[in-house]
Amino acid sequence: MLLDAVRQTIRRHDLATPSTRLVIALSGGGDSVALAHLLHDLHNAGELAIAGIAHFNHQLRDHADRDEQFCRSLAGALGHPFLADREDIAARSKRERRSIEVAARNARHEFFVRACTHFSAEFVALGHTRDDQAETFLLRLLRGAGARGLSGMHPRSGHSIRPLLDCGRAELRAFLVERGATFLEDATNADVSIPRNRVRAELLPFLQERFNPAVVETLASQAELARDEWLWMLDELKTRDLEGRRSAAEGTWTLERAALLSSPRAIRRLALWRAMTEAAGGRTVSLEHVNAALRMAESDAPSGCVDAPGHVVERIGDRVVLKNGRSSTLRSAERDFFRYPLSIPGEVSVPQRGCIVSAQFAAAEQLEPLAVRATMSSRATAIVAAEGLSAPLSVRNRRPGDRFRPFGLDGQKKLQDFLVDRKVARADRDRVPLVVDADDRIVWVAGHEIDEAFRVTDVSRAVLILTLRLV
């Protein structure tokens, strides 16, 4: 019975007790409507207390107001107080230079905090399912993630709980049909330009048909295993005294080198990543930054220094010290390196540039030859020959010694010289995204030029369409 499964999830993860006051996040979709009905049943059974139902209107769809009214009516039918709020997410996205998805998520969670305060509730219940967990696992695997990312969505995270995490989407739909409950269909779920929708509509069905009919359950189980590993690693940081000591007045974070080097390498990297991420103040800390700091910490040299986003990591005797600001001695030699995996098809956000780079295959014969030539070197789009590319692709910024052969040029040219010729400001040169293949060959200087080696010469062969979109 579905209700028993939800009850078991709540008990296993200690999500709620009879005295726990919850807010239900209701979008109007099938999952959240099922959540409302299931928790309403548990509320009537005295196993938890529903303080209210909350709906956030993102003002992104033509039917947004209709969705809000549906949720208001359902809350009234169930007999629970209702709270709604709204925000122009498109405007916020432009203002903050973030993607629509990120802006919407941030606004939604800010609202959930307000809703908990409004209803004097402890948690907000979200309708994420086992299918959502499998999709999250695949998305993060494709983008590149460790135990933290692959652990997916946790049953409890801050003020949020997920009572449906062990329930399948099909089970919830069957439950609603049996109960005669109505729900709304989100038309944007059919938009496969959104990575999660593409995973849901294309990748998961392919894996189910060709590899494993129970792939959703398998991936959700893998996320649970990764979550246990991640939580164990966090406990190890406490046990080994590797959480770091922070001095807010001095703007420093300190790790003891002896404790660092006596730990397994995975724990060393995690300790540094956690401290560096906090010191970075919201800037992206890449694996390259962490590895550079780790090499310095492991070195026999009595001192050293590594510049990282928003801070500097120094070896001072037996301590590794992170300080706000940058090292003037290393500013010209070390840069804020970034590298992100780019799946095909797929897209990746580059926060340093405030843009999204995407890639997709296409048959060149489907494209007009003139269109191929016109867009081969455009600022927003590049069409390159897929043959000869070594997968996987990545998006990174420049490195010392980078060279490539600009389209139409006889020989190679230093990337530095190319950017100077293109009048790219000095301060912006380290933020120019480069699409590179697995051999680290520059395929496209995004927004500027492709490498001659990847020019389309045979329109009967497959091509790769790369795009750059500012956010």
**Residue 183 belongs to a domain with what CATH number?**
3.40.50.620
Verify that 400 and 363 share a domain, yes or no. yes
Among 229, 259, 292, which residue terminates a domain? 229
Q: Answer whether residue 195 is part of any domain.
A: yes
Q: For residue 196, is pLDDT > 70? A: yes
Would you report the helix, strand and coil content of the chain in percent, each value rounded to 5? 45, 20, 35
Residue 386, pLDDT score = 86
Verify that 225 and 251 share a domain, yes or no. no
Among 278, 294, 324, which residue terminates a domain? 324
Bridge partners of residue 451, in order along the sequence: 406
State the total domains in the chain: 3
Which pLDDT tens digit goes with each residue over 288-328? 889 889 998 998 877 778 888 889 998 888 899 998 875 44
3-state secondary structure at position 264: coil
Which pLDDT tens digit goes with each residue over 85-143? 999 999 998 888 878 888 888 999 999 999 999 999 999 999 999 999 999 999 999 88
**pLDDT confidence band for 330 (50 / 70 / 90):** very low
* Cα→Cα distances 341→19, 73, 97, 326, 438, Å: 46, 44, 21, 27, 10
Tell if the pTM clears 0.85, that is, is over it: no
**pLDDT confidence band for 332 (50 / 70 / 90):** very low
Which pLDDT tens digit goes with each residue over 8-20? 999 999 999 999 9
Among 298, 324, 350, which residue terminates a domain? 324
Residue 281 tokens, joined: 């103040």
Residue 183, pLDDT score = 95
Q: Answer whether residue 208 is part of any domain.
A: yes
Verify that 263 and 386 share a domain, yes or no. no
CATH number of 456's domain: 3.50.40.10
Verify that 319 and 377 share a domain, yes or no. no
Verify that 314 and 361 share a domain, yes or no. no
Residue among 163, 212, 174, 238 nearest 30 (CA): 174
Residue 363, pLDDT score = 64
Verify that 408 and 451 share a domain, yes or no. yes
Residue 450, pLDDT score = 92
Verify that 48 and 164 share a domain, yes or no. yes
Alpha helices in 199-264 (DSSP H): 204-210, 215-239, 257-261
Q: Answer whether residue 237 is part of any domain.
A: no
Q: Answer whether residue 435 is part of any domain.
A: yes
> Which positions ≥6 away from 284 have C-beta within 8 Å?
309, 338, 351, 352
HSE, CB side, 13 Å, CA atoms: give it for residue 200: 17
Q: Answer whether residue 183 is part of any domain.
A: yes
Print the domain residue range for 157: 2-229
d(CA 350, CA 347): 10
CA 156, distance to chain mean position in Å, is: 18
Alpha helices in 122-264 (DSSP H): 130-143, 147-150, 169-179, 195-198, 204-210, 215-239, 257-261
3-state secondary structure at position 207: helix
Residue 368, pLDDT score = 56
Residues 59-74: b if buried by 16+ CB within 10 A, e if exposed: eeeeeeeebbebbbeb
Q: Answer whether residue 331 is part of any domain.
A: no
Q: Answer whether residue 289 is part of any domain.
A: yes
Verify that 131 and 160 share a domain, yes or no. yes
CATH number of 281's domain: 3.30.465.60
365 or 84: which leads in pLDDT: 84
Counting every residue written for the chain, the total comes to 471
Q: Quick one: DSSP state of residue 184?
A: B
d(CA 139, CA 204): 11
How many degrees, rounded to 5, is the angle at CA 283 between CA 349 and CA 105? 55
Q: Answer whether residue 367 is part of any domain.
A: yes
Verify that 379 and 412 share a domain, yes or no. yes
Verify that 91 and 166 share a domain, yes or no. yes
d(CA 203, CA 124): 31
Verify that 140 and 261 share a domain, yes or no. no
